[in-house]
Amino acid sequence: MSMTPHLFTRRLLLLAALALAPLAQAQDKAAARVILTVSSASGKVSKDFDLAALERMPQVTFTTATPWYNQPTKFSGPLLRDVLAAADAKGARLQAIALNDYKVEMPVDEVIQHGAIVALRLNDRPMSVRDKGPLFVVFPFDSQPELRTERCYTRSIWQLRRLQVD
């Protein structure tokens, strides 16, 4: 019994779709994985964000020179103030915590004033952990001279995992 070319093509496409389904499901699960938790010191406020939730927020893009890259680099992501607002997190101090438990503190008003973002993309591509991702707090360093300081650079935490507002 021989198959017509049309029937063969349809079966081949069906087999390909079946083979790729687990990969698509794995990608969906990865996208739904919590990558950022925002909380208050008291624990009253706590909100988890997956990548899709952060991507749905208004995105800001800028290119800036940094101490970590040889040339000006393009960063994209939501404003940090928008992430805090989405979590209904209010306070004067912000503690940012990385995947390796590195911590840095900063005043919330400076984060808002200087337009820090939670970068999701580096040169239009998602950031892997190896590339300082998946999340990186970045300031638009080239926009204001006061941002090109060691203090501000240390507040640009990469591999961000948690934000705690007091």
Specify whether the CB–CB gap between 11 and 3 falls below 8 A: yes
Mean pLDDT for 17-33 is: 56
Confidence of residue 30 (pLDDT cuts 50, 70, 90): very low
Measure the CA–CA gap between 140 and 144, rounded to whole angstroms. 8
Measure the CA–CA gap between 27 and 128, rounded to whole angstroms. 14
Domain boundaries defined on the chain:
1-32, 34-165
40 vs 59, which has greater pLDDT?
59
- For residue range 148-158, list pLDDT tens digits in order: 999 999 999 99
Mean pLDDT for 21-27 is: 49
**Domain covering 34-165, topology:** Sulfite Oxidase; Chain A, domain 2 (3.90.420)
Q: Considering only CA atoms, which of 85, 80, 105 is closest in space to residue 93?
A: 105
32 vs 135, which has greater pLDDT?
135
Question: Ramachandran region of residue 128, left (φ > 0), alpha (ψ -120 to 50) or beta?
Answer: beta
Measure the CA–CA gap between 101 and 160, rounded to whole angstroms. 9
* pTM of the full structure: 0.79
